[in-house]
Structure formats: structure tokens, C-alpha cells
Chain A
């Protein structure tokens, strides 16, 4: 199946005007598959870390949202052990008007603003709620442990 114009355009723009702190590079053998790196937002427990994600554009994209997950281990109430992300725009609030760029920005924003009230990783959310300081520290530890820049 030929690559829709939209995907080509999005890719081109991601290359031409990359978002600071975010990179997304398609695989050469599958242009719907992207290697994504997101820098942890400053003043967040994830600052200094570079998080790897994988992003896949399904056939009916942009009617359906992209599939995206963290490859780097991350301690976050809305991201589970498998790296899956709980984000409304990736689910019910997806709109074809959204793009890879906007989705990745949303994820970056999510790192800066964890939302333990709508958890995906229940244990993490629990920690976050009971002892936010400790949870943030754990997140920092994990970041330096797993997300250290190469």
C-alpha cells in the first residue's frame, strides 16, 4: 500500500522542523514505523533523560490514532510496565486533525504533568498519591538509570 501523502508530509516536516527535545525517525524498511526519542522536560523528574519510544501508524491513520509505546523503562503513573501510555488523545479523543508531532508533544507534556488520578500503572499511581516526593525521586532514579543519554 502506497504511503498516503499525509504521512509523507508529516515525516518531511518532522525532519525539516524538528520539535525541540523530540525526534522521530522512520525506519527505512517501514516508513510507518518510527523510532522516537523524547527528552524529559526540564523541572520534571525526567529531566536529563532521553526516552525511546516506538510509534506505528496503522493503515487507517489518520482515521485511527497512531500506536505508540515507551521502550525505555519509565516510572510514571500513566505509563505501564509495557510502556503503554494512557492519554485521551491516543484513544477516545483522537482526531484526524492531530498529528505525530502533536501527539509526541502531548506525551512530553504528560511527562511534565503526571496525572495519578487517571492511572494506567496502578502501583505507581498509588505511590505518587501516598508519597509524591518519594515517587518523584524514584522517577529521577529510573531516569538516570535507564534513560541516560548515550
Chain B
């Protein structure tokens, strides 16, 4: 083919958007050197191979040593070259074939023909290889390096690796003239595309200040200049918006040529250009410059920079999507789930951001919703879900197939699992072992799309190929690009175990810990670390992190640490599981050393820690420049498995705790929570992000498919997507679930709740009535004055007093006064020779030694001795034997306490003065004494020896009714009955008033009822100690528990008696407290006594509870105003 033939080729036959000339380098500043302006005709000859040509040098360089060979030249260039030209090339190149090819291909040789311009070749990057090798002149670099291949390996025809840039497609774009004049540009003339803008301007290729430019959000202008370097015009705003992003972020290089321009141009005239687009290699391999921090651990710990990077990513992402749309490039392979409407989705998401931004100057640019503020505003991200939406969401997630296969736990697991728990185990093991299949299939990462490199350019001409690189890959959600196959990372070998509270999530998890342990040998995971699609938050420098292949890390709220530990030990055959609690001062120095592979044999199998520890170590690591390894703490190893218990603790993805948790390294990641979504869809995102579930852990993706549709009221679509997210990830069963045969999932032993109607004593009633009247007066006065809401706290305080007085009148009173009164009463007793609390032994001693009293008290001594000897005595009133809570009168006749009190009451009602049932002596109701038999106690030395030689149990006589309230004495008689009937039974006593617990404590110790106490004032160690003591005690034991501290989380299945001393406003809270005892692991029937004082505010509270239950479902619908009204109604009810 000769040049003349080219010349003859009629231009009009060419396609409209044909690029007429090889673009030399539009990034070379026009003043840098006088670029020859090749005529269209002249250049057209080389055009076919132009794009090929610059891909060839690798091979060319190899031939450098060979003699100048015109055939070689021709074969490389791919066309016949006339001898003249060869000769000239030879001259110009100094007999260097490689240079000659270069010169030929870039067309500069023509300059020497046509213009005989004194081109100083060495300074011309286009012609100088030696110069190029220095690669020192930045403005010229793109041009020169374009012609260079980084690879040196000889490959005959095809390129071995990606060249500096590679053709991807062409598209048309419109611009405006910024100048007037004639003949500024003509059809088919090449133009340089420039991102030249005033102050922080930098041209492509310089890199350093690019980001500065993009930060000034006004500057999106893309200009183009003609071959003389004169600015001709600029792109339309709409297109320059994304084109500027591509250029600024060095994604691609553009070659422009004029398609149409008016001959006499005036400012603002429209110019049509065709742009050929070349993706730069740096865009594939140098992601670091876009988001450098994501690639190293250190900066990953700091979020401050994220905003800028996220924004840049967003720009890039949108621009790429637009580009592919413009050049009409379709993915050859993409995830089927994402492909539908995907581009539209991304663009729409961007638009939504724009609207939020309300900054018209900038389009599709910002990721964060605030105009200029950093991303901290995300705390309130997302709208709240309405109750019914939440319900429908769960409904699907809960569809549980009862026929799913089961798995048997490993032999080292010491507990037996229920059927559904075995199913959970199977499910979890399947999730964890999923990796193997993925290794085989190498399925594509779901976020990425595969594109074929075009093999023909826009004119239908062949393009050079690169060996083994027919495709490239783009992540349209992050804007990342890759030449390597993006492997679906095995990053979600875990899931969300969302079984409802009480179904035994902990046990299920422990069975997994036992049943799926790692084979210590290293699998292929490390290969994957190298893959490009490590997510932003996945740091890459694995070097400093040791693998801990034997260890599972459990992160739980502080109050549950002890429970995890004891459950873990209970669930394991002795010696099969090493458990370590990593908390507070128990933290050992170096987890890294302890758990690393070398120590696999001795490494703890389970490390239990709290969210607080995670957070504080996270901060330490962050302060230490993100150096995990040297810290030696929790972050210094990659666990086999990590489990977040009560994972709604990280529901806010912006919270530090959540971010800290994301950074925990583990092969298998699990979250346990009863409520995967608390009230926002974003709650779920945080879990998904922790799990690193692709693609959903990418917030941009999440936003595109969930947040945006949801916020634009496309609920069905959003919830549908959420369901698809949840389905493979979540296992959730509820307690209400029934097996197909209609059986409950968890056949818990029955639970019997009974209300004990307590009657006030007269004294209590007086106190109560007084407080009640006062509260009612206050309320009525406020109603009249219309100030109910204002004085709400006052009224509420009085209601609180009322409730307290139901428990014990003393609670409502000033402690000093109470103490004074007690002193006075005690003084009176001393005069009578009686006391509230008398030791039997000393009483007998007194009677028998005191000569004067001996006679009078002979019977008394007899009775007391009988009591002491525990001679079987039947109550002469009810014939109960032995007596139920034996009591004695002042004349030492004994009967059941209740019988005695009933009889006294009976006589009073008849108007008689009470007399002893036995001797008919008048008796004083105050002088009725309970016989309190204390359990033999090791430190008892008071008791003497009975005839049989066994130690006498210590016995005391205590005046009835003075020191306790109706509730206290009811509780005591319950507990004593339990102690008699089932000495092993353990009881839990709930009260919401710790001050009431203060009173109960002494009352219990007086009756020698052993108890422990758990309330909010205990620190972690004490809590553990209390719970352990309660669980492990072989005797019956009572746990006094504050409703607030013990209402959630605890496992108290060792007890089976519950006493609710006072009602709470909603039964749900009480019910949850009861569920501490009545939950998985409970084997006995649970009896619950709710103490309600008859005719008191407590009865009315029950009514309020009832109503609350009824309106609970519609609670979300109530406005603030309605709620207020409701509250006033409640108070009215209470004080009626």
C-alpha cells in the first residue's frame, strides 16, 4: 500500500465520527514544542495502525540490536512502506529501527518532509527513545510513555501486558466556542483536551494537585485547544462534569477530533467533537492514589479523610458509568442480581445526593449528604421503619423450613442440642465451609462487571490485543477498575444468627465452636489477599497480623462476659475447650504470641471480651499508627472466628465501636442478635458491613439499592431487596414458632404466673391512704389549674411514693425518724422483759435461773424447751403438724402464726378482747412472737447441746408484724415454705426499688434465709462472683435482683421460683425479667408470684398494663400530643 493510495481515499466516505488523525499528545502544552500539524491526508495513511503502533514498542525494543531491516519495519508497522520513506526514517532515526518505527508511527517524519522544520529530535519526546527512558519531563510523559510498554519480555505480535493506555471507545460530545475567528479548527482536526483552570490547575499527568482542583467544586471546565495550542472552546457543562472527573482522576486519556465546526466561528457557537477514549493503565493498578488510605492499615483507622475519598470515588464512579453509557460498552459478564437497572440506580443515587446538596453548580459529585460538612452527619442516616414494615420484613426472614438438615455436634460438646439447634449448627457449618466451592469456581465478585476490550476501534479497524487480557473489570459501585479477575472473596463465611432471645443462640454458637475447627494448615486464603478487590476497609498489610487459627473471639456486653464463660465451660467436656476472658486487669500481655499458629496447641479456643475493650484497644492501635502487630492485643491476630453477641451494639455504622468491630480480623464472622434491625434499615447495614458481605457491605451499593428507593418511598422495592439480603445471611426462629406437628419449638417447662393479693396491715393502710390522698389532691389541683403536664414530675414522684408504700411504708419515710421510733419501741420492750428479737436459749436461761420468776414461768420454760427440742407439736387450731411458722403468745402458748393472728382478729371482730386460745389469758396482739429457727450455721456457738448430743439449732423469738410489711412477710413465708418443701430450690426476687432490696436483705438474714444480691452498683467482678455463687450453690439460695440491672441478658435458669415484688408500668418488662428464669435450659416448672397489694395503686397499674398491651402495636402511630393525653389518662386512672 502506498501513501498515494491513502491520499486518494475520499474523505467523505469515512464515517462521521471518525478520528482523522493520530493524536499526538494533547497534554503537551502547546508551547512546549511546535507540534507539526499533519494534514489529514498525510496522516490518514498511518491511521489504521496508529492505535496499534504505540502498543508495539516492547517487541520493537528487542529488535533494537538487529540491523535496520525495512521488512521488519513493515511487518511491525503492518503496512508496506515505500523505500523513500524507509530511507528517510532511517536517516532520522540514526539507523535505529525502533526509533524509526516510532518516528514513522507518530508521523513526525512528515515534518521533515513537508516543513523541513528543525526539529531537535532529542527534545522531542515523540521521537526520542532515550529521552523517553529518562521519563523525566512530566508534561511530555503521557505522550512518550504511551508508546512504551513496561514489559520487556519478547512477544511477537501481541502485547504481554497492558500498555500505558488502551483504547476503550469513542463518543461524540458538544462544545462551545470560546473565541471568535475563522479557521480556528476545521473538520477532522485534532484538538487537545485540557483540564486547564486557573489557580490550582494541573494538567493531567502531574497528579499532585489534582485533588485540590476537584475540591474546588466549581471547576469542572474542560477546554480544548487546536493544534496551535490556541484555546478554541470548552465542553458543555453536562458532559464536562464527568469528563473532568475522569481526567482529574487519571482514569483515561482523551483524543479529540473535530467533527464539525463553523468556518467563521463566533463565541458560543457549537462545535462537535469526537473523543476517543483510552483507559490509562495507572487507573487499573494505581488505585492507591485515589484512595491511598484504604490500602494501609494505618489510615484505615481514621475516618476523617474518608469524606474526601468517598467523594472522589463517587465522582469517579459516576463518571465511569457515564462513560460506558456514552461509548455504549456493555458488560460481558455481571452479577445477575445487580445488572438490572444498575446504571440507572447508580445515577439515580447520585441525583438524590445532588438534590440533598442543593448546590446546582456541581452535579453528581458528592457522596455525603451535607453540603460541605464531613461525614459525621450520618448518625441519623436513614428513615425509621414503621412497625408494620418491620413486621413484614421479619416475616420473610423468619420463614424457617423445619425440614432442614441437622448436624450433630462434635463429641467434645457436652450438652445435648434440640432439633432446631442442630439445624442451626448445620446451617452455620454450611456457611462456614462455603469457602471450598468458591475456591473451585472462582466466581466473580458480585460487585464487579466484566468488559471486553474492544477489538475494533470506532472505524472498524483492528486494535492490538494484549495476551491474556481480553477483558477488564469495573466496579461501578466504587469506581474501581481492574485487569485481574475479581474473585468473589470468601469474606462472608458467617452470618447473622437472629434467633429470638431464649432459643439458645449462645449454645448454638458454642456447638459450632466445637464442631467446626480449623485445620491448622494454611489454605489458599493467602492467595486471595492479593486480589485487587479487597474492600476499602480491608487493610492489606497482613505482615503485622498473625493468624490465630484455633481461636474464636467473642465480643459481648460486659454483663454477659461471665455468662459466656460459664456456658462455654458447661458446654464442653472437661479439657476440650480453653476459654479465656479478656477483660480489665485479667488482660494478658500478648494475644499475638498466645494465639499464633506456632502455639496452636496451647492457644485459647475462645477469647471472651467486651465491646469496651475492643473500642479501647482500637483507639490504642489507632494512636500507634495502626500498627496492630506491635500492640499485641486483640487486633494483632486474625481469628478463626469472631462472634459479636448482642450485635445491635454496633447498629450505628458511624459509631466508634462499630468501626472498631469492623477492624477485627477473622475468617468467619458471626453476629448474634435478637433484633437485626432495631428501627432503621441502616442498622442492618452495619451488621452486613461487619460481616463483609459482598456486595452489600459497600455503602454506595447499599445506598443505591436500599436507602434511595426507601427514602423515595419505594418501600416495596427496598424491603424486597433487604429480604434478599437477609435471606441467605440470617437464621431466625422465634419462640412462637410451631413445628409442623404444632409443637412449640422449645418445649419449655410450664410457667405459672399467679398474682398474690396482699392485704395491708392497718398501719400500712394508714400510711398508704395518707399518701394517696395527698397525691390525689395535688393532681386534682393541677387539673383545675391546667398545669398537669408542667407538674408532671411532682405528680409522678408522688405516685412513686405510693408504689413504694405498697412495698414497705418505711421506704417513703425519712430514715432518721424511722430509726428514732424504733429506738422508742425497743425501750418499752426492755421494761416488759420482752423484745422484738429474743434468743431462746438465753430466755430459758433467764427463766430457770431467776428464782422469783421460776414459778410463774414454769410452763413457759416447758414450752420453750419443747420448742427448742423441736418436739413435734401440732397447732391446736388447725392441727397442722409441725406448725406452720410457729408463733408463741406472751403466755407461751404456741400455734401457727397465721392461726394465732386469725383468732386474735376473730375475737376483735366480735368485740371481745383477745385472749389466749389455750389459757384464756388476755393477750396483747403485739406480744405474739414468731419462732425463728435458724439453719445450723458453722459460726453458731450460741446453741448448747441437747440430750442427743447434737448441737441445738439457734432459735429466736421475734415479735410478729413490727419489722416487716405485708409484702415482706408474705415473701418470707413463701421462702420459708420453699425452704421446708424443697430445700434445694432457688428463688429470684425482683424489685425495681433497690431501697426495698435494702430492707429485704436484713429481713432474710433475720430468718436465716441465705441470699445474694445483684444490682447496678456491682462491678464486673462482683457480678460474676454473685452469679457464679448463685448458680453453683448446692443449697437453696435467694437472689435479690434489681429489675433494671437484671432485666436483660442474664441467665438464671438454675432458679425456678420468681417473686415480682412490685409491678412495672408495662408487663413486657416484667415478662422479660421472668424470662431470665424461664428460658432455654430451664428444666423445672417455673412459679411466678406477682405481689399486688389489694385496693392499691398496684391493682390499677395492672389495668394500665393491660391497656398498654393493647395499644403497643399502634404505639408508633401516636403523636406526641396523643401520648401526653394518654399519660394524663393513665394518671387519672391510677388516682381514681
Question: CB within 8 Å of B: which residues of A?
Answer: 4-6, 9-10, 60, 62-63, 93, 95-97
Measured between beta carbons, the chain A residues less than 8 angstroms from B895 are 97
* Cα A97 to Cα B920 with chains together (Å): 10
Given contacts A96-B903, A97-B917, 6 further A-B contacts (CB under 8 A): A6-B877, A62-B877, A63-B903, A63-B906, A95-B917, A97-B877
- The contact of B878 among A4, A60, A95, by CB within 8 Å, is A4
Minimal beta-carbon separation of B896 from chain A (angstroms): 11
Does B796 touch A at the CB level, under 8 Å?
Answer: no
Minimal beta-carbon separation of A4 from chain B (angstroms): 7
Measured between beta carbons, the chain B residues less than 8 angstroms from A96 are 876-877, 899, 903, 917
Does B879 touch A at the CB level, under 8 Å?
Answer: yes
Minimal beta-carbon separation of B610 from chain A (angstroms): 55
Measured between beta carbons, the chain B residues less than 8 angstroms from A10 are 879
Minimal beta-carbon separation of A10 from chain B (angstroms): 7
Per CB-CB distance, the 6 closest pairs between chain A and chain B, nearest first, are A97-B876, A9-B879, A6-B879, A96-B877, A63-B906, A95-B917
B906:A95 contact, CB within 8 angstroms = no
Measured between beta carbons, the chain A residues less than 8 angstroms from B918 are 95, 97
Q: Is the interface of B mostly helix, strand, loop or mixed?
A: loop
* Cα A9 to Cα B876 with chains together (Å): 11
* Cα A95 to Cα B891 with chains together (Å): 15
A63:B902 contact, CB within 8 angstroms = yes
Q: 1/0 contact trace for B851-881 toward A, CB 8 Å?
A: 0000000000000000000000000111110
A60-B906, A63-B906, A96-B899 given; A5·B879 CB < 8 A = yes
Measured between beta carbons, the chain B residues less than 8 angstroms from A62 are 877-878
Minimal beta-carbon separation of B561 from chain A (angstroms): 50
Minimal beta-carbon separation of A105 from chain B (angstroms): 15
Measured between beta carbons, the chain A residues less than 8 angstroms from B903 are 63, 96
Minimal beta-carbon separation of B854 from chain A (angstroms): 26
* Cα A87 to Cα B270 with chains together (Å): 131
Pull 19 A–B residue pairs with CB atoms less than 8 Å apart, ordered by A.
Answer: A4-B878, A5-B878, A6-B877, A6-B879, A9-B879, A10-B879, A62-B877, A62-B878, A63-B902, A63-B903, A63-B906, A95-B917, A96-B876, A96-B899, A96-B903, A96-B917, A97-B877, A97-B917, A97-B918
Minimal beta-carbon separation of A7 from chain B (angstroms): 9
Q: Which of B189-243 contact A (CB under 8 A)?
A: none
Measured between beta carbons, the chain B residues less than 8 angstroms from A97 are 876-877, 895, 917-918
* Cα A93 to Cα B895 with chains together (Å): 18
Minimal beta-carbon separation of A123 from chain B (angstroms): 32
* Cα A97 to Cα B899 with chains together (Å): 11
Minimal beta-carbon separation of B66 from chain A (angstroms): 119
* Cα A4 to Cα B875 with chains together (Å): 14
Minimal beta-carbon separation of A137 from chain B (angstroms): 38
* Cα A5 to Cα B917 with chains together (Å): 19
Measured between beta carbons, the chain A residues less than 8 angstroms from B902 are 63
Measured between beta carbons, the chain B residues less than 8 angstroms from A63 are 902-903, 906
A93:B920 contact, CB within 8 angstroms = yes
Measured between beta carbons, the chain A residues less than 8 angstroms from B877 are 6, 62, 96-97
Q: Which of B879-920 contact A (CB under 8 A)?
A: 879-880, 895, 899, 902-903, 906, 917-918, 920
* Cα A4 to Cα B920 with chains together (Å): 24
Of all chain B residues, the one with the shortest Cβ separation from A60 is B906
* Cα A4 to Cα B895 with chains together (Å): 16
* Cα A104 to Cα B174 with chains together (Å): 124
B880:A5 contact, CB within 8 angstroms = yes
Residues of B within 8 Å of A, CB-based: how many? 13
Of all chain A residues, the one with the shortest Cβ separation from B905 is A63
* Cα A95 to Cα B904 with chains together (Å): 11
Minimal beta-carbon separation of B907 from chain A (angstroms): 9
B879:A95 contact, CB within 8 angstroms = no
Measured between beta carbons, the chain B residues less than 8 angstroms from A60 are 906
Of all chain B residues, the one with the shortest Cβ separation from A6 is B879
Measured between beta carbons, the chain B residues less than 8 angstroms from A95 are 917-918, 920
Measured between beta carbons, the chain A residues less than 8 angstroms from B880 are 5
* Cα A63 to Cα B906 with chains together (Å): 7
Measured between beta carbons, the chain B residues less than 8 angstroms from A6 are 877-879
Q: Which of B906-965 contact A (CB under 8 A)?
A: 906, 917-918, 920
Of all chain B residues, the one with the shortest Cβ separation from A9 is B879
* Cα A19 to Cα B906 with chains together (Å): 30
Q: Which of A5, A10, A97 has the most CB of B within 10 A?
A: A97
Of all chain A residues, the one with the shortest Cβ separation from B903 is A96
Measured between beta carbons, the chain B residues less than 8 angstroms from A93 are 920
Minimal beta-carbon separation of B165 from chain A (angstroms): 99
Measured between beta carbons, the chain B residues less than 8 angstroms from A4 are 878
* Cα A112 to Cα B880 with chains together (Å): 33
Measured between beta carbons, the chain A residues less than 8 angstroms from B878 are 4-6, 62
Minimal beta-carbon separation of A52 from chain B (angstroms): 27
Q: Which of A60, A93, A95 has the most CB of B within 10 A?
A: A95
Minimal beta-carbon separation of B913 from chain A (angstroms): 12
* Cα A97 to Cα B878 with chains together (Å): 9
Measured between beta carbons, the chain A residues less than 8 angstroms from B879 are 5-6, 9-10
* Cα A18 to Cα B843 with chains together (Å): 39
Measured between beta carbons, the chain A residues less than 8 angstroms from B920 are 93, 95
* Cα A9 to Cα B903 with chains together (Å): 20
Measured between beta carbons, the chain A residues less than 8 angstroms from B906 are 60, 63
Of all chain A residues, the one with the shortest Cβ separation from B906 is A63
* Cα A95 to Cα B921 with chains together (Å): 11
Minimal beta-carbon separation of A79 from chain B (angstroms): 24
Q: 1/0 contact trace for B558-574 toward A, CB 8 Å?
A: 00000000000000000
* Cα A37 to Cα B74 with chains together (Å): 144
Of all chain B residues, the one with the shortest Cβ separation from A64 is B906
Measured between beta carbons, the chain A residues less than 8 angstroms from B917 are 95-97
Q: Which of B877, B879, B895 has the most CB of A within 10 A?
A: B879
Minimal beta-carbon separation of A26 from chain B (angstroms): 16
Of all chain A residues, the one with the shortest Cβ separation from B899 is A96
Of all chain A residues, the one with the shortest Cβ separation from B909 is A63
* Cα A97 to Cα B701 with chains together (Å): 85
* Cα A123 to Cα B930 with chains together (Å): 51
* Cα A6 to Cα B906 with chains together (Å): 18
Minimal beta-carbon separation of B142 from chain A (angstroms): 103
Minimal beta-carbon separation of A130 from chain B (angstroms): 35
Q: Which of B733-785 contact A (CB under 8 A)?
A: none
Minimal beta-carbon separation of A100 from chain B (angstroms): 12
Minimal beta-carbon separation of B691 from chain A (angstroms): 61
Measured between beta carbons, the chain B residues less than 8 angstroms from A5 are 878-880
Of all chain A residues, the one with the shortest Cβ separation from B902 is A63
Of all chain B residues, the one with the shortest Cβ separation from A4 is B878
Minimal beta-carbon separation of A62 from chain B (angstroms): 6
* Cα A138 to Cα B122 with chains together (Å): 164
* Cα A16 to Cα B877 with chains together (Å): 20
Minimal beta-carbon separation of B539 from chain A (angstroms): 75
Measured between beta carbons, the chain A residues less than 8 angstroms from B876 are 96-97
* Cα A62 to Cα B918 with chains together (Å): 13
Minimal beta-carbon separation of A93 from chain B (angstroms): 7
Of all chain B residues, the one with the shortest Cβ separation from A8 is B879
* Cα A85 to Cα B34 with chains together (Å): 146
* Cα A45 to Cα B331 with chains together (Å): 126
* Cα A6 to Cα B878 with chains together (Å): 5
Minimal beta-carbon separation of B905 from chain A (angstroms): 9
* Cα A142 to Cα B880 with chains together (Å): 42
* Cα A93 to Cα B920 with chains together (Å): 8
* Cα A10 to Cα B917 with chains together (Å): 18
* Cα A123 to Cα B917 with chains together (Å): 35
* Cα A144 to Cα B320 with chains together (Å): 128
* Cα A5 to Cα B881 with chains together (Å): 11
* Cα A63 to Cα B876 with chains together (Å): 11
Of all chain B residues, the one with the shortest Cβ separation from A95 is B917
Minimal beta-carbon separation of B863 from chain A (angstroms): 14
* Cα A93 to Cα B915 with chains together (Å): 10
Minimal beta-carbon separation of A67 from chain B (angstroms): 16
* Cα A125 to Cα B878 with chains together (Å): 38
Minimal beta-carbon separation of A149 from chain B (angstroms): 32
* Cα A5 to Cα B880 with chains together (Å): 8
Minimal beta-carbon separation of B693 from chain A (angstroms): 64
